[in-house]
Structure 1
Amino acid sequence: MSLPPFQHLVDEHWRDVARLAHGLAPGHGDDVAQQAWAQALAAYPRLTHARNLRSWLLTITHRCAMDHHRSARRTTPHEDLSLLDEAPTHPAPEVPDGDLWARVAALPQRQRDAVVLRFVGDLDHRAVAAALGTSPGMSRRLVSDAIATLRLDLRDQP
């Protein structure tokens, strides 16, 4: 099976990559998406099949977001390491349900990533597991735990 032209892939999936990048790296989504497209372009000629290209792209996007978070941690000055003990605060994505996404941003990183991949990236649990490097059962558990936490938070709000 031959691969479609890369431009066709971009035209078909650019929104998915952008949404996921902005969901995983609020405030840096454009940079993450650009990095993901650059990596996809470099790897595209080596692909041997055209099965599930969307999932392949979203996995690359997730890895780029994680690389971005790792590099941001490495550039933290040593005297500011005390800030790492505080809960991370990320601006919520610009969506109508900003309060909900602010709560999602406050989840532990793996739960947050699983929720964003599942609901923003619209991936099934097998694809979420592949992106996170875990099993589909663990993917389900991460999403379930995140939803349970969000329900409690929303129920407890005034």
Structure 2
Amino acid sequence: MRQQRLPVVSLPPFELTVARHAATVLRVCRALVGPDDADDAWSETFLSALRAYPTLPADANLEAWLVTIAHRRCVDLLRARTRRAVPVGTPPERAAPEAAGDLDLRAALAALPDKQRVVVALHYLGGLPYREVAEVVGGSVDAARRAAADGVSALRRRYRREA
């Protein structure tokens, strides 16, 4: 009786991984830290991923792995932001009025509580299943679903109010 050999599974080249998942990682970064720091978080994500890529199991879910790294880099940036002074020029006399009826998704996401914002970003923008979202944020799958539902509900209420 002959033994069958299983095909050897290997990871794709890192450049291909970046090309496939760059947009998803950037969406998550923008949702979590805003447009000003998103590029830095994106870069830090892929630098961290590059360092760890050779040790990654061949059957790893690359997208989930990258979104998890992005989440951690964003948390690092948010913590660093609170520890440093941000210089500003002369403040304007008045804030510029927003166009009536415009929904600014970034502002709406930023208004959500932290856990809801992270769960909505990871699940809806990052494409992670609730099981993996729960692993990233800590807690149960049901709690992740509840936070996502509450976050989406708050976004819908805000949209109706602004429309």
TM-score range (shorter-chain normalised) is 0.7 to 0.9
- Which residue matches 2:83? 74
Q: Which runs of 5+ in 1 are unaligned?
A: 78-96
Identity percentage of aligned residues:
39
- Which residue matches 1:17? 25
Deviations 1:37-57 (A, max 9, x none): 000001111112233111100
- Which residue matches 2:125? 120
Q: Which moved more, 1:125-134 or 1:12-21?
A: 125-134
Q: Which runs of 5+ in 2 are unaligned?
A: 1-8, 87-101
Higher helix share: 1
Deviation, structure 1 residue 155: 4.0
Q: Which moved more, 1:45-54 or 1:63-72?
A: 45-54
Quick one: which amino acid aligns to residue 104 of structure 2?
D
The structure with more radius of gyration: 2
- Which residue matches 1:132? 137
TM-score relative to the length of structure 1:
0.79
Cα 1:155–1:8 shift into 2, 3 Å: closer
**Cα root mean square deviation, aligned:** 1.9
Cα 1:43–1:130 shift into 2, 3 Å: same
- Which residue matches 2:154? 149
Deviation, structure 1 residue 17: 1.2
The alignment of Structure 1 onto Structure 2 pairs a total of residues equal to 139
**Alpha-carbon distance in 2 for matches of 1:28, 1:144:** 27
- Which residue matches 2:71? 62
Q: Which moved more, 1:121-130 or 1:34-43?
A: 121-130
Counterpart selection for 2:45 from 19, 36, 52: 36
- Which residue matches 1:87? none
Deviation, structure 1 residue 112: 0.7
Q: Does 1 or 2 have the higher relative contact order (CA < 8 Å, sep 6+)?
A: 2
